[in-house]
Structures are given as C-alpha cells and as structure tokens.
Chains A and B, each alone.
Chain A
Amino acid sequence: MTEAPPRTAGPGPAATGPRLVGTSVPRKEDLALLTGTARFIDDIRLPGMVHATILRSTVAHARVRSIDTAPARAVPGVLDVLAGAELVGKVKPWGDLMQDLLVGDHFPFATDKVLYEGQELAAVVAGTRYQALDGCEAVAVDLEELPAVVDPEQALRPDAPLVQERIVYEFGEGNVFDRYRVRVGDFAAAERDAAVVVRQRFTTNKQAGAALDPHGCVASHDPFTGVLTLWSSTQSVYMVRDVLADVLQIPRTKVRVMVPEVGAGFGSKAQMFGHEVIAALFSMRLGRPVKLVLRRDEIFRAGTTRNSQVRYAELAMAADGEITGYRDYVVHNTGAMSVWGNQVVHIGTNVGMLPYPIPNVHVDSDIVHTTTAPGGPLRGFGIPQTVWAKEQLVDMAARELGLDPLAVRERNVVDPATFPYRTPMGQVIDSTSIKQCLTACAEAIDWAAKRAAPVPHEGLGLAVSMKYTSCRHPSLDTDLSAVRLRLETDGTVTIYSSDVSHGQSHATMLSQIVADGLGVGIEKVTLAPPDSMTAPFGLGTYASRGAAVLGTACRLATERLRDKVLAIAAHVLEVGPGDLDTGNDRVFVKGLPDSGIYLEILAATAAYRTHQLPPDFEPTLETVATYDTPTEREASDGSGNLSVTYSGAAHAAHVRVDPETGRVTVVDYAMVHDTGTVINPLVVEGQHQGGFLMGMGMALSEDYVYDENGHQLNASFKDYLAVTAPEVPELTRMSEIPAPSTTIPGGQKGAGESGTGPVPAAIGNAVLDATGIRFTALPITPQRMLTALREKERRGVETLRYPDDMPDFTGPRCPDEWPSPTAAEADDFDFDFDFDLDPEEGA
C-alpha cells in the first residue's frame, strides 16, 4: 500500500461524480494532426510496396465487348493487370450483405455491362504510380454505348433503358430496386377534414461527401500465415472485414483490417468498395504490399452520393394550425447500384416526420436505379430531403391560413405531458426540449422584430427536425457497439474499439468517460487504433452513434472495470467495496481521498501477484461491454421506434438575395439544439457547425451535374462548389437546451447530423420570404434564382413556385396523375457561374 503525496494542482478531492464529462477537454487527437505526424492512408509506406491504379469507364452505360489487358502487361514497370472476366466465378459479388434483401449487385469490375461513368474496368499494379497510369492507358477497351438514364422519373417509364439486367428484385421490377410504404392513420380522412391541404413537387440534389482524405487502402498479404492485412480509410472495420472475406471466400480470421487516421467520411466511407478488393487481389497474387489511393475525380464519379429524390408531397392542416396529415410519393434515386441507398428513404421518412407527431401518414416510394453514381449514406441520411419538403409545406399551409410559421411550429412540435411518449409513427420520445429550442432559436434570430420591419430582398425562415441517434436499420437487425478496456500494470488504460473515429474525437470523448468512471487521469487513457485483430465487434461509426452508443458501451465497460478494481482494493484494505471510492488514480476509503492504493498497484496485483487477489477473482483487469440499443424493427406499416433517442434541432435562417446576381447570402443563422448530455461541448459545437456547412452546400451550391449521356460535368473541386469560408456566416448564434436521454445511461444524444437536417428547408423558407419565390429544387443556384426572378416578373405574380409551379393539382397518388410541371425555362445548372453575369442575358 502506498501513501500518496498531497495534491498540488488539479480538481479538488471530491473525486466522485463527473469531472471531465461535460467539459471542453482539449482533444487528445490534436498533437499528431497539428504537427503533420498523423498517418493517413496515403502516408503508409511498407517495404516492397507497389502501386495500383484503376481504369474506369468514361461512358455511363455500355455493353462490354472486350477488355484486353495484354498490352498493359508490356508497359515497363507493370507487374500485374486485372479485369472482370477472369474474376467471374472466383470472386463473389456483394451488395447489401447483411440484409434480408440480399443483392449481389457489386463486383470489382464491370463484366458484361457498364452501369455508370467511373465504374471499374481494369486495374494495373506497377512499381510506381506513373507506371501504373501508363499501364492503364495501354488497356484496350471496346464498349458499345447504350442510352443512359439520368432522371429517376424517366427510369420508371416502361421504355426506359434497363440498368440492372441480371438481378431479379424481390419487390421491384424494371429499374425499381425496392418499394417502401408507410400507412399510419387515415390520410384520406385527414384530407377531408382539413382546412387546407398544400401540395408540391420537390426535388433534391445528389451531394458528395467529398471528405478531403481520399478513399484508399494498402493491402498486404502474408503468404506464410495466409493473413491478408488491409489498411483502409473506412468508417467501419468489420463491414470491410466481413464483406471482403466473403467476397474473397477466405475465413474472416485471415483478414485483418486496420484503420489509420481517416480524414472524414460523412457516410461516404461506410461500406466496402471495389478498390479494396482489387488491392487485396493484387497483393495476394504478387505477395507484395499494394497501395491503391483514389484520385479526386474517381471519388466523385464512383464514390457514393446523397440520394436525390423527387417528392410529391402533401400536408393537411386544420384551421387552428394543427398538422393532421402528410402524404408523399417519393422517387428515390439510388444510382446504378447501392449498398445502403434504399435504407435512406426508410429512415429518412420515418424519422423525418419528427418533430411532429402527425397522426395520418401515407407514403409510397419507388427506389430506382439510374446510370449515375451509386447512392448511399451522407450526413443526415434522408432527413434533409424529407425536411426540405415537409418544412416548406408547413410554411405554405401556415401562409394560406394566415398563421405565423413560428406559432404553427410551436403548436405542433412534440411536447408531451409525460415521457416516454410514443408518436403515431412509432417513435418513442424519451425526452425532448424541441419546443424550447424553437422559441430560443426564433429569439436568437430576432424573429418578431425582423418580421415586423421587413427589408427588401431579405427574409427569414425556420425549420425544425429531430434526428435519430444511431439506428436499427430496417435491413440490419442490430444497433451495437462494443468497448474493451484494460487497466495496464503501470496504471494506464487502453480502450479498444472498432468504431473508427474520423473527426468525431473518440479518443478524447471515451477517455473523458473512462477518466470519470475510474478516477484515472485522462492523459493515462489511450484509444488503440481500430484493428479487427484486437478490437471487439462493433458496427462502425455512422448515424451519429459515437457518443450515445459507443459511449454507453464504454461506460458499461468502465463500470465493470471499476467493480473489479474495487473488489481487489476491498480485499487488500479489508473493507467492503461500498466503503471505497476512486479518484486521483487511486482507490481510497470514502472520506479519505488523500490516502488509498494506486490503480497501478492493483493492476500489478491482478497480473503479477495473483495470490493476493480475493478468492475466486479472475486475474487481470480487462473488461468488455457491448451495448445494443433497445430499438425496434420497422413494422410492415412503416412505423416503429428505429432510434434509441432523438436529438432536436431548431434552425432559423436570415438570407439576402442579390437581384442582380441571383446570389443567396446567408446573412445570419441561429441554431438551437437538444443533444442531451454533452460530453465535450466544444466538440459538439464543432459538429453542429460542420453539419450546417454540409446543409448549406446542399441548399445553395453542391450537386452532381450530368449531361444526358450520364457524364458528370463537375467531377472536380473546380466545378463542384464545396462551401468555402467566406460564404459561411459567423456561426455564433448557437446554444444547447439539453434534455438528457433517459434511455441512454449517460443521457447523450447524437450530435453529428443535427446540424444538417433543417438547413436547406430553413434557407428555402427564408428565400421565399425574401423573394416570393418558393424553390422546389435544390440547390438554389444564382442562375436558377435569376431565372425565377425574371419569370415572376414576367407573370406579374406575388409568389411563384419554381421550377415546378403547379397550382391546379388536387391530390393525386401516383406520378401519372400529376400535371406536368411548368418549368419556366430550361433549368441547366451552370456550375461555371460567373458573378459578373448580366442578369439580362443570364441563363
């Protein structure tokens, strides 16, 4: 037993209760990242490593006549070449591996048909990257181009080119990959009884995650052990390991996935990709490490994108402003193939109904293939799309009834007398402060005063959302994370987790939890790099699940570790465990914080002096905990509590529209969030600000622009308009009104995506207020704005819906019954927009 010297600094002796959780501890991750010593995927260099490059299709849709790799083999430096034909029957196709609907729509290379521009045709590995590029140029490709289908509604037509020819879908036919429906309550009755039903066709854009750190991997196969090691820039260790092992038909024990620093993902790295299989195959064939890092244009064309949607949305409202019903027909464009794409419409619609407990919901969706880049998850996972339509309809209905949009929202947001409260859609709200968030957000933007004194070309808009905190995906009956902890014999603690931190600050956040729970100094806690050989099984980092789900697993593992530590200390000190407390790296008798036994002594006892352990104590101090959320599977009517708790977001936008350039400037923006108990306030603030940025890009500039042949015209940061610093308003009107989750033991809620959901809708509502134009398409580009302003002037109207102005429409249920939209003019997205453009000759 050791006497501790008196403390000279740091927190006082009250060592119980949270000390670090809830404080903005500067991050443990930062030093390496700030000094350039952090190792990202492209920084990995192994002895004997060679370089691979992929040859990709330059056409979107084509029959493969032949791909001759022989000429590439003759190029100096080229070591090996691969194409699809030789892999058929040897490599297993993959798709949504873990879902009921098993679809083998992915293969490392196009074999009989090319389905989108950028699809893999062949790959070359050589001594240097330049030699590999030379090799790719030598591959002889003969393709017979087929008509492309870019527009998801065109893809539904019986005469549309068929994208996936070989796959027989369970629920769809033609280009319909899957169907989805919600039947909650009785929308027809709601429609009959409503004071007003507003209807509009809305469209949303294909947005890129555009994480700056490229997708890539290094594969190294050890012919002696047979273990294939893959370093990959991915969000999920086990998704990659399990799918890769399955594809290669080798045991999962022979695939080891390790993850270096990952320069963000936003959902775009939450699956296994073809390049990971290709690098693995090359390494297995050559017996050498192979690096394959994608270029920016490859990531644009062949990475995943936010699923674009066409929504025929309707909202019923009673005279007093109560929202009584929502109906929608969604054409959901999931690109040429998709691993996660169809899930987006399920979760985006179910959770997207919040924060309103709408009693009657009727949604149909066709999930369709087009010859465009694969759809997938992206920050917000379908919520921003749903909110874009629904929150604009709320404003439209409020205006028709002469009600204040703020008052209508305050009347409708979920605000039950008691918790937990189950909404008609099935969500179980365990706590929320969304109503207070809404009020506070309106105050922050100065809603009442600014609306009383309108400024020309300026406007205000509101939008609210509640976001899932992780999710039980309809296709994946699990929602778990796990943590293993080891108290090392020098008193330090190692955390093992397979949920990859790629900006979310796991090392800091989990260390805060461990430090508080165990009474150990935070600098003694280390998060081990994600590695499938050592980390417990977990699903990965996506869906805002880090703080709540992984954090809970960490909390449980810490509690178990603390119990073990107390048991040893109680035995040594001959007191009951209940008389003990932890803190300052020690276990001490309650009330005597300056005495006690150091954790390292206890850890050493547990490992090296096992005779001194309590009888029956299993030696060493290592614990593991897995937390699976108490969520439900989606019911056949589409209802269900898919998320363990819901984070609230109330946003208010103040925009200015320049009638000369058509440019929308976000002058001011207020965000008030309910993120439950916040572990690290500065980190959560950063998440919201980053979330806003992505929402702003979706609202105003980011989109995939295709020509009719399916060529992406803006597969580069030159033309893809990612939001830059001068465009972003000062994001200082931000606050939290925490309503701690009662389901999650620590009270946390998801932080990562709350900032994104309401942004396009809040900006859209503000644009209407500023201009009288209700934008129905995203993004609201300067050129679209100029066209709309001119059209409004030409028609001499007060308000205009643009581009789809359809005032005569009365409640149809399928697209055939919808009147044709009357787009004002050709609506090309001019990504090379010139701000000096003369408005007279614009567009």
Chain B
Amino acid sequence: MQQVTLTVNGREVTAEIDERTLLLEFVREVAGFTGAHNGCLEARCGCCAIEVDGEITKSCNVLAVQVDGAEVTTVEGLAPQRLAPVEHVTTQSLAGMYAPLEAVRTRAEDLHPLQEAFHRCHALQCGFCTPGMLMVLKGHLEENPEPTRDGVRHAIAGNLCRCTGYQHIVDAAMEAAEVMRGDAPVPADG
C-alpha cells in the first residue's frame, strides 16, 4: 500500500492504495469521477483518456503511483457547472413561453464547445466512447486551432467508437474548433 495524492478536477484526493491501482481506477473508484471509462485496459480504445498535468493520457496505461502529485482533469471537469444533468421541467406559468426545441438544448455557456457541438451534431449514440473522445479532441483543438478533417481523424485514431462511424464526431470537432477560435457565433439554437 502506498499513499498517493492527486488533484482531480480541482479537488485534492489522498488515499492509501494498492500499488497495482491504475490511474483510471484511482480517478473512478477513489476520487469518484466515473466519466472516464474502462473499455479495454489495454491502451487501445481511448475511453479512459483524461488530462494529466496538461497532457492527454490514456489513464489505464499509467499507475496512480507514477503520477503522485499530478493535476488531473476528467470529462467532469470540462463543464464543472454541469456536474449533474438538469432536466428542465416547466411549470404552468412558463407553459406559454418556452419553445420546445430550444428547451431540450442546453444553454451554450454551460458546456464546453466540444460538448455543445457533439450534442448538436449527434456525435454520440451510446455515449460510452464520448468522454475519451472529448478529452482527446480538446487536446487536439487546443494545439490545432485550425484543424483539418483528416487531422481530426488521425487525432482520434487511438479512440474507438463502435456506434457512430466517426462521421458526426469529425463534424462536431470541426464545428467546435470554429467556436473555440471565436470565428463562429455561439450557436443560439443550433
């Protein structure tokens, strides 16, 4: 057993852990952020991708003890004000006011541009690969503010998605890049 301290999404977490504990397991089971997923534990599917000291990392490929003291951001840290999904429920007084289509959309400022674009472009089906895709694309877009479709495809070559055929994921990344550059107005209603 060894003591490890990590800062996960801004919260400092210290624990005595089995040395075999993977960073992914620390984040999920010790820190309690289950957004990063275990899809293979062989560094192939990318579902476990998180940011470790600014680097996007497959967290199943690292032992927690190796990164003692690190600063970690998971998908939960992308939109901290949205830690729980809020079902928007109108009351009678609002009934004449809302527009049904807009009500199921979230307000853009709540989410990271990538999350917003994934939602708009239907870039997730089962959503299991999504947290890893978001983190890897965040890294890619921060380094490549003017991405190409091909570049995006190669950036996510280490992330599997069995549902979408990747097309809408690439669409979403391109749209998000525009928003992140500030070229595109934040879409008001998609």
A33 cross-chain contacts in B, Cβ below 8 A: 124, 127, 130
State the CA gap A690–B14 with chains docked (Å). 41
B41 adjacent to A35 (CB under 8 Å): no
Query: Which of B61-69, B94-102, B178-186 is the contact stretch?
Result: B94-102
State the CA gap A209–B128 with chains docked (Å). 14
A35 adjacent to B83 (CB under 8 Å): yes
A30 cross-chain contacts in B, Cβ below 8 A: 118-119, 124, 127
* Pick from A23, A26, A586, A690: contact of B119, CB under 8 Å: A26
Contact with A along B146-182 (1 / 0, CB 8 A): 0001101110111111111111111000000000000
CB distance from B178 to the nearest CB of A (A): 18
A700 lies within 8 A of chain B by Cβ: no
B34 adjacent to A43 (CB under 8 Å): yes
State the CA gap A693–B86 with chains docked (Å). 33
A8 adjacent to B167 (CB under 8 Å): no
B153 adjacent to A726 (CB under 8 Å): yes
A5 lies within 8 A of chain B by Cβ: yes
CB distance from B3 to the nearest CB of A (A): 17
- Tell me the B114-160 residues at the A interface (CB within 8 Å): 115, 118-122, 124-131, 134, 149-150, 152-154, 156-160
B119 adjacent to A40 (CB under 8 Å): no
A586 cross-chain contacts in B, Cβ below 8 A: 95
**Chief secondary structure at chain A's binding surface:** loop
A11 adjacent to B100 (CB under 8 Å): yes
CB distance from B151 to the nearest CB of A (A): 10
B47 adjacent to A20 (CB under 8 Å): no
A718 adjacent to B42 (CB under 8 Å): yes
B165 adjacent to A264 (CB under 8 Å): no
A724 adjacent to B98 (CB under 8 Å): no
A183 lies within 8 A of chain B by Cβ: no
B59 lies within 8 A of chain A by Cβ: no
B168 cross-chain contacts in A, Cβ below 8 A: 682, 685-686, 689
A25 adjacent to B127 (CB under 8 Å): no
Query: Which of A190-198, A210-218, A277-285 is the contact stretch?
Result: A210-218
A39 adjacent to B165 (CB under 8 Å): no
* Pick from A32, A128, A213, A691: contact of B85, CB under 8 Å: A32
- Given A36-B35, A37-B76, A718-B44: A522 touches B162 (CB 8 Å cut-off): no
A225 lies within 8 A of chain B by Cβ: no
CB distance from A493 to the nearest CB of B (A): 11
B2 lies within 8 A of chain A by Cβ: no
B169 cross-chain contacts in A, Cβ below 8 A: 725
B78 lies within 8 A of chain A by Cβ: yes
B40 lies within 8 A of chain A by Cβ: yes
A709 lies within 8 A of chain B by Cβ: no
Contact with B along A750-766 (1 / 0, CB 8 A): 00000100000000000
A826 cross-chain contacts in B, Cβ below 8 A: none
B122 cross-chain contacts in A, Cβ below 8 A: 24, 26-27, 682-683, 685-686
State the CA gap A731–B161 with chains docked (Å). 15
B79 lies within 8 A of chain A by Cβ: yes
B39, B111, B156, B169: most-surrounded residue (chain A CB, <10 A): B39
A503 lies within 8 A of chain B by Cβ: yes
A523 lies within 8 A of chain B by Cβ: yes
B125 adjacent to A37 (CB under 8 Å): no
Q: Ordered nearest first, which 4 A-B pairs have the shortest CB separation?
A: A36-B35, A263-B128, A33-B127, A689-B165
Could you pull out 7 A-B pairs where Cβ atoms are within 8 angstroms? A4-B96, A10-B98, A31-B119, A34-B75, A43-B34, A689-B164, A689-B166
